[in-house]
Structures are given as C-alpha cells and as structure tokens.
Amino acid sequence: MLEFARPLQKILRIKQVNSTDLVWRLHCRATVYLLVLASLLLSARQYFGNPIDCVIDSGAVSVSTMNEFCWIMGTYISSDPNFGTVSTLPSLLWLVLDSTDLVKINAKIGHIPESERSYQKYYQWVVFILALQAGMFSLPNFLWKAWEAGRLQSLCDGLTSPIVPDQWEKSRKKQLIAHLVSDFPRLHRTYLLRYIFCTLLNFCNVLLNIFLMNLIFSGFWTNYHPAVSALLSFDFPSWNRYNSQVFPKIAKCDFHFIGPSGSKQNRDGLCLLSLNVVNEKIFAFLWVWLLMLLVISALNLLYWVVVLCSKSFRMWLVAAPLYPIRSTVVARALEGQEIGKWFLLHQLCRNLNPIISRELLTCISKVKTANNRKSYRMAKTGEPDFYTDPEGFVEEDV
C-alpha cells in the first residue's frame, strides 16, 4: 500500500558513525520523514479520491468544470466573529435535526455576504507547504554535512565495532593520537562553532515553521488549540466542532459567468473537501510535535550553554560513557585543551568502541605527561625543543 514511501527508508537507516545528537536527529530525520510522508500521502489520489467534489443543480455548468473552478479559485465557509469560522457541515446537520431553526440555517447555507466569508485558500497548497517544511528542516543537516565533510567518519573508520577490530594497530593508533594532540585550534574551534550554529538553526527553524503555519492557516496555533485539547481528552464531539473552524469538510463555491442573453449568471455549489479528513489529523499531530520539538530544542540550547561554560561538565561528558576509566586520566588528557579539541574528542568517544576510547584517552594522557616533563627539563637545561613533532613523541610513548 505504501510503496511510494519505500525510497524514504534511507532516511531512517541507522548509521554506524553519527556526528549529530538525538535532538538533531529529531529535527533533520524524524521530522523530515514525517513531513515528506504526509506530503506523499496527500498526493496519492488512489487512497482518498478527488481532492474536491462539488454538487450543483443541473444547468449550463458541468460538474467537472465546477470541480476544476472551485479547486483553482478556492472555497469558503461562513465566518462568525464570536466563534472563529464555522463550517457549513454543522449547518446541514442542524437542518436535518432541528427544522425549527430555519432562519439560522438559511443564514449559513444560503447566500453568505462577502464580509462574512472565510476562504480556504490553503487547500490546494497543503502538499507543497509540507514539502517546503521538510526542506526547511533538512537545511541545517545539509549545511552540517557540507561543512563536516566526512571528517568524523574518516577518523572512526573501522573502529566502531563492539569487538576491537584488526584496524586498531600501532600505526593507526599513532596517527589518531598524533591528530588529537597536534595543535590546530582554529580548525577544531571552527568545527564546534559550525555545529552550534546548526543547532541554533534547528531551534530557529521550529519557530519559523510555527510562524509560517500561523500565517497560512490564519491564527492556526490559537484557533486549533481547542481542537487538539479536545482530541487529547477524547472529547470527539468538541473535536469535530472546533476542528471544522480550520479544516471544514464541506464548503461553498460560487461560479459566475455570462449567460446566452448577456446577463450575469451565478451557480453556487456545495463542495466536499475530502483531503481535510487527512489534513486535520496531520496538523493536529504537527501542532503537538512542533510544540514538543520547540521545548526540546530550547532545553538543548541550555545544555550547550552549560557545556560551553563548565569545564567539569565537559570532562564528565567524556568520562561517563567510558566507566571505569579513572577521572585523573580523563582530566590529564583534557588538560589545556581548548573547547574545539574537546568537542572532537567527545565526538570520537561517542562513536568509537569503548575499549578503544579508553585506550585512546590513556595514551593521550601519557603523551601529555611526557611532554610536560620534557618541557620542564628544557626550561631548566635550555635544550632545544625536539619533541614538538606529534608522531615523534607518539612513537616513543605508545
């Protein structure tokens, strides 16, 4: 049934090396997958039939022409200033259930003045809106992949297996340690700043999507709150009542044309908006999802503020997954390292085999201890600095 969604399974494929965190994947993978799937679902006509189907009295206008016209020009419902917008669907039900309220019914399903109309201008654009949102949520991940350029993958290549692989030999160990103890502050700092920028972009992206939906659906976040609350409390009559304000199932459409005698003719039709049966559920989910994503993203930004400000917290982030490594070893390995290099080391420890990560930190700790001793001897004896080449001292100590 969902053959059209099969190409999207690459998005959900679990990677062995991940340069991003869980919050990031909620933005750039889970949300993108859901939005693209919803967009494809709405465009699959075989599941929901025609997106619009209008009923008119027989005459000069055919049903197919009326359908095309109303699809292009849009439909409308009656607007109530005290209650948002009210679909014509409840009015038709009232006509059947309560024949005494004909004045009120006729005001809803008869002629509706232009000033009291609320048009569904969004209806034919929902598929494209969802696709645009998917593109917006993909942008930070696209930027990060372009900037990261497979750097972490090349460093971790073959070293992520639960069993220590054969690739973890002396030469590979020497190269990796040499890269980590070498002094490239600008390179590592840029790597971290780009990651934080994309994380901030994820947060701004949620805000922008909330604003976009509020603009397109005319106060969506305010008007749809009662409907979502009713749905979450399983109050389905209220859900149907409030939901019809934003996603009506039945709406009106006027077709004006010039008749044979040259006079203006009008044909009004009652149109079934079948896609709104799906739209209401998609956007109810998005209402909750984006709100949840906004809170999680804000907490994630707070987490990064703590990371940038607290050296002890950074040390704990590296040491905690590698228990029972000694804290003194981690402290010595991170001693004097600027935050960009810490971030690279943290990324490595998240992806490498824990045994390899512990050995890596232990070796870096030994190298730093040896360098400190050599620096002290050189300061006292005045000997030249022969140990500044990373590979030289890694060869000696490892």
Per-residue pLDDT tens, the chain, 398 aa: give them.
455 555 555 555 666 778 888 999 999 989 999 999 999 888 876 566 788 888 887 666 788 888 888 888 888 887 655 444 444 434 343 333 333 333 333 335 566 777 777 778 888 888 899 999 999 999 999 999 999 888 888 888 777 777 776 667 777 778 788 777 776 778 888 999 999 999 999 999 999 999 988 888 877 887 788 888 888 888 888 888 888 878 888 888 888 777 677 777 777 888 888 888 888 899 999 999 999 999 999 999 999 999 999 888 988 888 888 877 777 788 887 777 778 888 888 888 888 888 888 888 888 888 777 765 555 444 445 454 444 444 544 444 43
Q: Write down the H helix ranges in 182-275.
A: 185-216, 220-223, 225-232, 236-243
Find the angle CA(113)-CA(273)-CA(292) to the nearest 5 degrees. Answer: 105
Q: Which helix (H) or strand (E) holds 267?
A: strand 264-272
Which residue type does 63 have?
V
The set of residues, in sequence order, having a beta carbon less than 8 Å from that of 320 and lying 6+ positions away, is none
Sequence-separated (6 or more) residues with CB below 8 Å from residue 197: none
Question: Rg of the chain's alpha carbons, rounded to an integer?
Answer: 31
Within 8 A by CB and 6+ apart from 59, the residues are 267
CB 361 within 8 A of CB 330: yes
Q: Any bridge partners for residue 271, and if so which?
A: 54, 251
- Cis peptide bond prior to 324, omega within 30° of 0: yes
| pTM (2 d.p.) | 0.78
Residue 134 has a pLDDT of 94
Short-list 63, 36, 62, CA closest to 52: 63
Q: For the packed helices 185-216 and 276-309, what is the interaxial angle rounded to 10 degrees?
A: 150
Instruction: Please report the pLDDT score of residue 13 as a whole number.
Output: 60
Phi, psi of 326 (to 5 degrees): -75, 140
